[in-house]
Amino acid sequence: MKILNYLLAAVFFLFAWLQRNDVDPEIYSKPSFGNPTLDSALWLIFYAIIGVGFLLINFKKLPMWYFALAFIACLAEMYSSGPGLWENLFGDRPFTLTQVSMSSDDSRVELTREFFGAVIALAAVIFQFWQKKRRSKN
């Protein structure tokens, strides 16, 4: 389990590192929090904290406040980016996650990606919580 946690920590640190490219206001026209730089910084911090969680869980139990804040953050992001996913799925234009390239000039695409990023983060936090509960039983 420790090796998997180290691998997942590396994945979330990679996600955090990739967020640094997501600050172009011409492309990133409708971020969840209204400001592309702030939104990108919050995602970077969010992914990095989950990565740190995967490192720490190898050595000690994560506190319940970590899980509460992480669950709330994931659900809040899913709520704020959900309308973009909804429009992408059921709007007038066909569903897409890439368009011509990964750089999107369509805000519904960026919000759809953010929604799925929050789903991935939520799955990671649930996995961390499962590990905490499993260790508590042993």
Say what the pTM is: 0.81
Give percent above pLDDT 70 in the chain: 80
Separation CA 64–CA 14 (nearest Å): 25
Top pLDDT among 34 and 116 is at 116
Instruction: Label residue 72 by pLDDT band (50, 70, 90).
Output: very high
| Residues with Cβ within 8 Å of residue 53, at least 6 apart in sequence | 62, 66, 70, 124, 125, 128
Res. 25: pLDDT tops 70: no
- Amino acid in position 69: L
What pLDDT was estimated at residue 27? 46
Q: Are 85 and 112 in contact (CB under 8 A)?
A: yes
**Per-position DSSP letters for 31-94, written without gaps between them:** -TTS-HHHHHHHHHHHHHHHHHHHHHTTTSPPPHHHHHHHHHHHHHHHHHHHHHHHHHHHSSSP
Domains in the chain: boundaries: 2-137
